[in-house]
Amino acid sequence: MRRAIHESVEDLQADGVVYGEVRFAPELLVRQSMDLTRVLDVAQEAFAEASATYGVMVNMIACAMRNHDNSLRVAEEVVKRKGGNIVGFDLAGPERGWPASSHREALDLLRREGVRYTLHAGEGDGVASIQDALACGASRIGHGVRIADDISVDGVMFSLGPAAEAVRASGVLLEVCPTSNLHTQMYHHLASHPVDILFRAGFVVSVNTDNRLMSKTSITAEWQGLAEIFGWGTSEFLAITVAGLRAGFGDEVERDRLLTEIVLPGFRA
C-alpha cells in the first residue's frame, strides 16, 4: 500500500498536479490482520509522507461499496478522522439496483458531523440516479454525465428538463471522466461525449481521470483530448480548474492559496 501510494503521488507530481483528492475503497484492501482501521491508518500515513516528499497536497476520499453493507462502518471511520487528510466520503460500485438512498444511515451520520460527500451517479444508471444523489445531499456527483439525457440541444441553444435544471441550479460539481466513459463504452468517441455540452450549458464541471492505471490516462491526456476535439483553450481549462479547487473537500484556506499563488499566475503566464 505504501509503495503504491507513493508512486501514485509521484505520478501526480509528474503530471503537474498541485492538489488532488484520491478515492479508494478501504474495504477492498482488508486482508487478514489488515482490518478497515489499519488500512485507513496506513493510507493516512503514506499519503502524508508522499505529499511532503513530492510537494503535492493529496487528500483522500474513502469509498464504501454501495453493493456491500459496510457504508456505515466506513462513514464512522471517516468521521473519526475528521480534520485529517481523509476529507470526504463516496459511494462507489454498481449504481443500478443500489441507489445512494439505500445508505441513508451512513449519509445521515456524515451530514450530522459536517463531513462532505460525493456520490457516484449518472454513469452506470440514468437521470434518476442523479436525482437520488442530489436528494441525498451530495456536494459533488461522480461522473453525472447522464444528466445530458435531460438536455435538448439546438445549435448553441440548450433546453433543460426538470432534473437537469435542478442539478444546474444546485451548483453541484459534476466530476466528469471522459476517457473512463469511453472505456466503459458509455460513448464510442470523445466527440459524442457530453462534457462540452454540459460545460457550455452552464453546469459546474471538473475533468478527472477516474482510474489512471486502468484507463492509462492523466489530466494532461484528458485536456489534450478536449483541446483537440472541442477546441478548448485557456478559458475553459481555467474554469474547470477553478471549479475543481473551489469544490474541493480539503482545507479551504490552502485551496485558496493554491488558487491565488499557483493556478491563476500559471494560467496568466
Classify strands 117-121 and 140-143 as parallel, antiparallel or unpaired.
Answer: parallel
C-alpha–C-alpha distance, residues 195 and 199, integer Å:
6
pLDDT digits (tens, 9 = 90+) for 46-83: 999 999 999 999 999 999 999 999 999 999 999 999 99
Classify strands 140-143 and 19-24 as parallel, antiparallel or unpaired.
Answer: unpaired
Q: Tens of pLDDT along the chain (269 residues)?
A: 999 999 999 999 999 999 999 999 999 999 988 999 999 999 999 999 999 999 999 999 999 999 999 999 999 999 999 999 999 999 999 999 999 999 999 999 999 999 999 999 999 999 999 999 999 999 999 999 999 999 999 988 999 999 999 999 999 999 999 999 999 999 999 999 999 999 999 999 999 999 998 999 999 999 999 999 999 999 999 999 999 999 999 999 999 999 999 999 999 87
pLDDT of residue 269: 79
**Could you count the other beta carbons within 10 Å of the beta carbon of residue 13?**
17
Which single residue is written with the C-alpha cell 489499519? Answer: 38
Q: What is the pTM of this model?
A: 0.96
> Among residues 77, 95, 123, 222, which one is catalytic?
123
pLDDT digits (tens, 9 = 90+) for 233-258: 999 999 999 999 999 999 999 999 99
**Could you count the other beta carbons within 10 Å of the beta carbon of residue 175?**
23
* Cβ-proximal residues to 264 (8 Å cutoff; 6+ apart), any chain: 238
DSSP state, 15?
T
* Cβ-proximal residues to 217 (8 Å cutoff; 6+ apart), any chain: 179, 180, 209, 210
Hey, what's the cell of 233?
A: 483553450
DSSP β-bridge partners for residue 206: 175
Domain segments of the chain as ranges: 1-115, 123-269
**Topology, domain 123-269:** TIM Barrel (3.20.20)
Cβ-contact 134, 104 below 8 angstroms: no
- Please indicate whether residue 222 is annotated as part of the active site: no
DSSP β-bridge partners for residue 95: none
